[in-house]
Amino acid sequence: MGNTLHFLQVDVFTDRPFFGNPVAVVLDADALSSQTMQRIARWTNLSETTFVLKPTDARADYRLRIFTPERELSFAGHPTLGSARAVLHSGRLMRHDAATLTQECAAGLVKLRRDGDRLFFEVPPARTTPLCATDALAIAQALGLETDAETPVFEAIDVGPVWLTAALRDADQVHALSPDFARLAELSRRLGATGVNVHANYPAGYCDARGEAVQVAVRSFAPAVGVPEDPVCGSGNACVALQRRARGEHQDYIATQGDVIGREGRITVAYRGEGIEIGGATVVAVEGRISVD
């Protein structure tokens, strides 16, 4: 059969297979070239595909490379959680009962924490830059928002990926968006961003269809990197959490994402002093071997 590697597909931010956001994970990928990794990521056609390698930093448990169908990312949230689940599930980590993990990636070292069946990553250091009114208006128009209303305040938030992030009026407005993906891709490329990320509050006391209390609705669009709508985005939710904290909101919350496209995901956001953790459930949906000849 030739050279094969262990391959998993992990659904992230869900406890049910075929919901949330899947990530393809290739283990023991040290011998693969960057070109082969990009070709595999283009073939899986998921928002991200990751490759687990031996760490180069003695403080890390493993090293991760992360690819969209179009390019490599320095960091991404749901691939970080899904890859950690794959490493644990496959027995690649000797410390099976470890409460914490350390991932090495192009953005640096990322700390992860286990809480029962859930995994959390610590949001890496971020840089925030306000967008000018002209660019904010162009993004609002590309999202399909009414341009005679007040334009949302967009900020470019860099957590590895750069998300153009803004709060909208309410969750209904978030869910009703009908973006012009070609225009969003053009704006994202011009502004040096991964994509556009929006959020808003649900009414107080709101519960989803499963009867679970949720507080924030999120959607993330990244057509510039080959992902028109990211079903459930860890780095995008990190930017939301950072933006909310900067505006004086410090309460832990549950966010929803993916419901509009039938891929319901639930994201837990926890404020820990100066740090922020993003987490949720993960489930292995596919496991096998992939040919890399």
What φ, ψ does residue 212 adopt, rounded to 5°? -95, 135
206 by Cβ neighbours in 10 Å (0-12 / 13-18 / 19+) ranks as: middle
- Which of the residues 48, 104, 122, 264 is marked catalytic? 48
Pair of tokens at residue 204: 């107080």
Integer Cα distance of 218 and 215 in angstroms: 10
Integer Cα distance of 268 and 254 in angstroms: 5
Query: Is 48 a known active-site residue?
Result: yes
DSSP string, 12-62: ES-SSTTSSEEEEEE-S-TT--HHHHHHHHHHH-SS-EEEEE--SSTT-SE
Which residue, among 19, 12, 77, has the nearest Cα to 278 in the 3D structure?
Answer: 77
Integer Cα distance of 156 and 239 in angstroms: 9
153 by Cβ neighbours in 10 Å (0-12 / 13-18 / 19+) ranks as: middle
| Residue with token string 């780095």 | 235
Torsion of CA 8, 13, 16, 20, to 10 degrees: -80
Cβ contacts of 28 within 8 Å, gap of 6 or more: 5, 6, 52, 92
Q: Which amino acid is at 4?
A: T
Catalytic residues: 48
